[in-house]
Amino acid sequence: MADLGAVGAFAQRHRHHPLEALPWLIAVAAYFVFPSYLPLGAQILATILFALSADLVLGYAGIVTLGQAAFFGAGAYTAGLLAAHGWGEPITGLLAGAAVAAVIGALSGIVILRTTGLTLLMLTLVVASMLYEAVNRASWLTGGDDGLQGMQVWPIFGWFRFDLFGQTAYCYCLIVLFLCWLAARRMVHSPFGRSLVGIRENIRRMHAIGAPVARRRLVVYTISAALAGASGVLVAQTTGFVGLTFLGLDRSGTVLIMLIIGGVGRLYGAFIGVPLYMIAQDRFSTIDPVYWYFWIGLLMVLLVVFARGGVLGLFERFRR
């Protein structure tokens, strides 16, 4: 048999690397080390899931989107409405929110994914804006500008009550994030995931090797919408509130910034960029409550000038 060194190395790329345990060890340690920051921690974990969903479409399939908040908000409002109208069971709420977001992702994707580039970017924005306005107008149901009132989220499995210190929220978000990450990681390393990278790298060539490019893009867009929806549900359930900001352009933009800080298309960019951004935001806004956005902006400029590819990009450069 021929030397299969290259084949062997190539065939084992999906194996878990010890470093991949690091974010999870840190997350578990943080629970014990920073007990007074658990509510912030839960928000960070949920937002990591949101950024992970954006990484799948942007980093892997190369679909540039400014409408990811549509799915985040769709999930949040679904779970929120259920909880406000007598069904506060969190797990089914989570599944329902993800499913509604996935349906919206699939339906809008069928239409807008026919385009690419800047047109597609604008259309993702349009979808998010339309949903925003629809929710705003349906104030009899959603509370409109005031946000959704009266969510009653039940304890998880009828036992783990969402407490004031955020212990349940933190663990709940951590477990959901972990399961979603496992699924996303599995997908990224599957032939489907690799073909997405092919689409990002050279869409013409993917057509020329006979790949059903449109279908692949739609599938990943739908999966990403479901994950974004799940992250919206996590935020809604753990804070007990849903408002219009869940659907805003701000949120779609910020998640991209967080992802870019961490590094796009690497699956772990979300795990670095989101905590960095949110902890920096938390600190800056305490130190400098009026102008804290300036510091975030400065951080962004430095990253773009000195660290294209984000923090993970920097690491990769040092390893070479």
Interface residues with another protein (CB under 8 A)? 2, 4, 6-7, 9-15, 186-187, 189-195, 197-198, 201-202, 204-213, 215-216, 219
What are the φ and ψ backbone dihedral angles of 242, each rounded to 5 degrees?
Answer: -135, 135
Q: Which is nearer to another protein, 97 or 309 (CB)?
A: 309
Which residue, among 171, 227, 161, 189, has the nearest Cα to 12 in the 3D structure?
189
Q: Which is nearer to another protein, 84 or 226 (CB)?
A: 226
Q: Report the C-alpha gap between 191 and 174 in whole angstroms.
A: 28
Q: Which is nearer to another protein, 7 or 26 (CB)?
A: 7
- Report the nearest approach of another protein to the CB of residue 117 (Å): 17
Q: Which is nearer to another protein, 192 or 284 (CB)?
A: 192
Q: Which are the contacts of 251, defined by CB distance < 8 A and separation ≥ 6?
A: 68, 69, 72, 73, 245
- Report the nearest approach of another protein to the CB of residue 190 (Å): 5
Q: Report the C-alpha gap between 261 and 74 in whole angstroms.
A: 26
- Report the nearest approach of another protein to the CB of residue 52 (Å): 16
- Report the nearest approach of another protein to the CB of residue 203 (Å): 10
- Report the nearest approach of another protein to the CB of residue 47 (Å): 25
Q: Which is nearer to another protein, 57 or 255 (CB)?
A: 57
Q: Which is nearer to another protein, 191 or 289 (CB)?
A: 191
- Report the nearest approach of another protein to the CB of residue 315 (Å): 17
Q: Which is nearer to another protein, 115 or 202 (CB)?
A: 202
- Report the nearest approach of another protein to the CB of residue 4 (Å): 7
Q: Which are the contacts of 232, defined by CB distance < 8 A and separation ≥ 6?
A: 50, 71, 72, 73, 74, 75, 76, 77, 79, 97, 101, 246
